Amino acid sequence: MLRFDCTNALPFLPENWLSSRLEGLTNARSLLETGSGLGGAFTGWVHFPETYDQQELERLLQTARIIREQSQVLIVIGIGGSYLGARAVLELLTSPNYNLLCQDRPQIFFTGNTLSPDALTELLDYVRPRDFSVLVISKSGTTLEPSLAFLLFRQLLTEKYGKSGARDRVFVVTDRRQGGLRSLADALGCATFSIPSSIGGRYCVLTAAGLLPLAVAKLDPEELLSGARDAMLRLRQPGQDNPAWQYAAARNTLYQQGKGIEVLACYEPSFRFFGEWWKQLFGESEGKDGEGIFPASVEFTADLHSMGQYIQEGKRDLFETVVHFAVSGASCPLDPQDSDAQALGYLRGRDLRYVNDQARRGTALAHVKGGVPNLLVTVQERSAYWVGQLIYFFEYTCGLSGYLMGVNPFDQPGVEAYKNNMFALLGKPGYEGLLPEVL
């Protein structure tokens, strides 16, 4: 099981930081496990890793093989939880440069998360001369960004392959029974997969929404689910030794002390989009009713030369959570020679892995001395099994944290505010008169 360590936060925590929250954590656990709390209808993810339909998984793997055989490029259309999880895991387990390095599998581009005509036109022009397929992911099918992207890419598919050929290159992940995208997929007759109605978008990375694009990239969905399942079995056990309980209690304590910003950090560039997924997970789950820890993320060591100054000496209203992968996949020995020896000779015989880890340790010491509590999550390695554990750990902690905070961790009413105004400005029927008097 991954490990949680709050040693570098203890100087900032009262002695009873965990024991005083055991009653609240016990109640939060019960609400999660039974689905009886606020938003309980959307806690299907809690037990999902052990209930995943094996036949559905086999169909998903077969579909991934079809996409690989017929496509040089896969366009994944989605926004928020409909794409962040898949992109996070893809980059973390391969590389941010996946599309430059992939050889025997399609390039994968994510779109439907912008309204920029420049970005969409660029991608349309790129795939025009190539064989491509489209995977569109949306529970409702009514969100404007992915709807417009799907419209444009479906038109290009039809121009290139005809209606019948286009149908065979469109794949849909949506609600099993309802929604605009479900109706359209049924009308088109294309292959579909379902997101259970009991799982909200930001918790759906271990459903077909995340697993299908990852399978196309030849990553292992079964290993992801296996890691998540083992984490689920461990984290459902109550008590002070539960790492999710410890993380949730530490976050809650620091928040009540005025630490309203949590900065997620990692020393692997491939972690960047995992940070983006994490920000949505905690931001949408906690940020409501005037409450919530603001989630931010940084990439170390690069951001030590940009955000490092603020973290070290800025306003003391933040804390850090650092994700550390204990085993690096690459070895990079250092052997400074000649002109390099004077400046770098002290590193002779070391490996770059060692240097990176000392940077992590040195940064933690500096930030703690500067008044920034540090929480540490240690994962064995960047593999599908361990990333599955990490995903479930953050999801489960997020549920506990929301209930400790007294909010519904599974709704996002504030997201609709901008949509209503945008639709009114665009003249969508039914949205007349919704704009405020002053813009």
Cβ neighbours of 270 (radius 10 Å): 20
* Residue 412 to residues 87, 113, 172, Cα–Cα distance (Å): 22, 18, 24
Token pair recorded at residue 65? 């093989």
Cβ neighbours of 283 (radius 10 Å): 17
How far apart, in whole angstroms, are the C-alpha atoms of residue 20 and residue 242? 15
How far apart, in whole angstroms, are the C-alpha atoms of residue 182 and residue 238? 39
Contact 48, 199 (CB under 8 A): yes
| DSSP element (H, E) containing 286 | helix 272-286
Cβ neighbours of 128 (radius 10 Å): 11
Q: Active-site residue among 33, 160, 222, 419?
A: 419
Determine what percent of the chain falls in helix, strand and coil, rounding each to the nearest 5: 55, 15, 30
320 included as an active-site residue = no
In sequence order, the 6+-apart residues with CB closer than 8 A to the CB of 293 are: 251, 255, 259, 260, 261, 262, 282, 286
Alpha helices of 71-128 — where are they, by DSSP H? Answer: 84-93, 98-101, 117-127
Q: Active-site residue among 262, 276, 284, 286?
A: 284
Cα–Cα nearest to 81, from 367, 394, 400: 394
Q: Is 143 helix (H, G, I), strand (E, B) or coil?
A: coil
How far apart, in whole angstroms, are the C-alpha atoms of residue 90 and residue 88? 6
How far apart, in whole angstroms, are the C-alpha atoms of residue 262 and residue 414? 21
Cα–Cα nearest to 137, from 79, 188, 178: 79
* Cα angle value 106/395/320 (rounded, 5°): 100
* Cα angle value 39/415/439 (rounded, 5°): 150
284 included as an active-site residue = yes
How far apart, in whole angstroms, are the C-alpha atoms of residue 255 and residue 293? 7
305 included as an active-site residue = yes
Q: Active-site residue among 15, 305, 315, 437?
A: 305
Contact 278, 394 (CB under 8 A): yes
Enzyme catalytic residues: 284, 305, 419
